[in-house]
Amino acid sequence: MSHTITDTNFEFPKQSNLYKGKVREVYNINDSLLVMVATDRLSAFDVVMPKGIPFKGQILNQIATKMMAATSDIVPNWLIATPDPNVAVGHLCEPFKVEMVIRGYMSGHAAREYSLGKRELCGVEMPEGLKENDAFPSPIITPATKAEMGDHDEDISRDNILKRGIVSETDYLVLEDYTRKLFQRGSEIAASRGLILVDTKYEFGKTKDGIIVLIDEIHTPDSSRYFYADGYEARQANNEAQKQLSKEFVRQWLIRNNFQGLEGQTVPVMSDDYIETVSERYIELYENITGETFVKADVSDIQTRIESNVLTYLETL
């Protein structure tokens, strides 16, 4: 497990500041560019796990950049270059302080709320008579406020977002439109790979020119849930668990080990063998969603590799 990257402290030329999120670390270069490093940290229930997952950062970064390329014709994004397998470079943006969560199926957080008897999520009604993993009549948008590292994201309704002035109504309509377009495209891409895009989240920002763009990750196993399409209907009919590719399997393992990020709970110990299985599941998703064989980057000295590649790129500007 030593060949993982869980923390960085680079000093790049013209670096203004460094922001550390749950998984990504973002370097501000001259208040113009952002260098985003995808670490191997694993977050679940808004808690960062003690150990990193081999190749996770590379997987997240490469899926996200491929998906941004595949959706740039319908929604503009922040991305400029990917000088390293774990790094994306893009335009500095002012992020909106909401995550646009969209759900096509009643799974995960929605299913847990539904099982408690709730029939409304973020101001959106959920029909009676659904069982876990059933499709909603149409995808629902259930936003969340963005949390700092270690804090919990919180569900919030569209009305409260507008009432609190978190996002203007004009901008929010754009965010909703972009969210639905991205989910539609993501669902089409997933279907072409024999997968179902169950739910996902998107983050947006505004450039210095006032343009709303997609930022951060898109359609990765950290931000999305996928089912295998083959056998979905049969499994639902037989009340069987769906075969899925997402971070949900980690959440379920944590729940079985009495951890849901609640006060007083302790993160269970992840053995090296279990961490290896998590890494293998991430690689499996990469290969399924992209249709390409995953090529492991050199991890003998990840810090030096990343620093060298970013410095070389910055010298070209």
Residue 251 belongs to some domain of the structure: no
pLDDT surpasses 70 at 147: no
Q: Mean per-residue pLDDT for 126-132?
A: 97
Q: Mean per-residue pLDDT for 237-255?
A: 88
Q: Mean per-residue pLDDT for 180-203?
A: 97
Distance set, CA 262 to CA 45, 54, 107, 119 (Å): 9, 27, 20, 23
Residue 251's pLDDT is: 87
Residue 105's pLDDT is: 98
Residue 242's pLDDT is: 93
Which residues constitute the domain of residue 154? 95-246
If asked whether residues 99 and 74 sit together in one domain, one would say no
If asked whether residues 148 and 285 sit together in one domain, one would say no
Q: Mean per-residue pLDDT for 249-269?
A: 92
If asked whether residues 242 and 311 sit together in one domain, one would say no
Q: Last residue of a domain, which of 194, 213, 246?
A: 246
Q: Mean per-residue pLDDT for 146-163?
A: 79
pLDDT surpasses 50 at 149: no
Average pLDDT, the chain: 94
If asked whether residues 112 and 219 sit together in one domain, one would say yes
**In residues, how long is the chain?**
317
pLDDT surpasses 70 at 152: no
Model confidence band, residue 270 (pLDDT cutoffs 50, 70, 90): very high
What span, in angstroms and rounded, lies between the C-alpha atoms of 169 and 175? 10
- Whether the CB-CB separation of 44 and 250 falls below 8 Å is answered with yes
What span, in angstroms and rounded, lies between the C-alpha atoms of 123 and 29? 39
Residue 192's pLDDT is: 96
Model confidence band, residue 1 (pLDDT cutoffs 50, 70, 90): very low
Residue 263 belongs to some domain of the structure: no
pLDDT surpasses 70 at 35: yes
If asked whether residues 282 and 140 sit together in one domain, one would say no
- Whether the CB-CB separation of 104 and 190 falls below 8 Å is answered with no
Residue 172 belongs to a domain with what CATH number?
3.30.470.20
Residue 195 belongs to some domain of the structure: yes
Q: Mean per-residue pLDDT for 173-187?
A: 98
If asked whether residues 38 and 138 sit together in one domain, one would say no
Residue 3 belongs to some domain of the structure: no
Residue 2's pLDDT is: 57
If asked whether residues 139 and 111 sit together in one domain, one would say yes
Domain count of the fold of the chain: 2
If asked whether residues 117 and 240 sit together in one domain, one would say yes
Residue 274's pLDDT is: 93
Model confidence band, residue 222 (pLDDT cutoffs 50, 70, 90): confident
Q: What is the pLDDT of residues 37-90, one digit of tens each?
A: 999 999 988 899 999 999 999 999 999 999 999 999 999 999 999 999 999 999
If asked whether residues 59 and 190 sit together in one domain, one would say no
Residue 163 belongs to some domain of the structure: yes
Instruction: Considering only CA atoms, give the Rg of the chain.
Output: 19
Q: Last residue of a domain, which of 211, 246, 281?
A: 246
User: Who's near 5: CB < 8 A, 6+ residues apart?
Assistant: 37, 39, 40, 52, 57, 86, 302, 303, 306
Residue 106 belongs to some domain of the structure: yes
Residue 240 belongs to some domain of the structure: yes
Residue 260 belongs to some domain of the structure: no
If asked whether residues 116 and 25 sit together in one domain, one would say no
Residue 298 belongs to a domain with what CATH number?
3.30.200.20
If asked whether residues 120 and 187 sit together in one domain, one would say yes
User: Who's near 103: CB < 8 A, 6+ residues apart?
Assistant: 110, 136, 139, 140, 141, 142, 198, 199
What span, in angstroms and rounded, lies between the C-alpha atoms of 31 and 29? 5
What DSSP assignment string belongs to 94-123? Answer: EE-SEEEEEEEES-HHHHHHHHTT--EETT
pTM: predicted TM-score of the whole model, two decimal places: 0.89
pLDDT surpasses 60 at 148: no
If asked whether residues 152 and 241 sit together in one domain, one would say yes
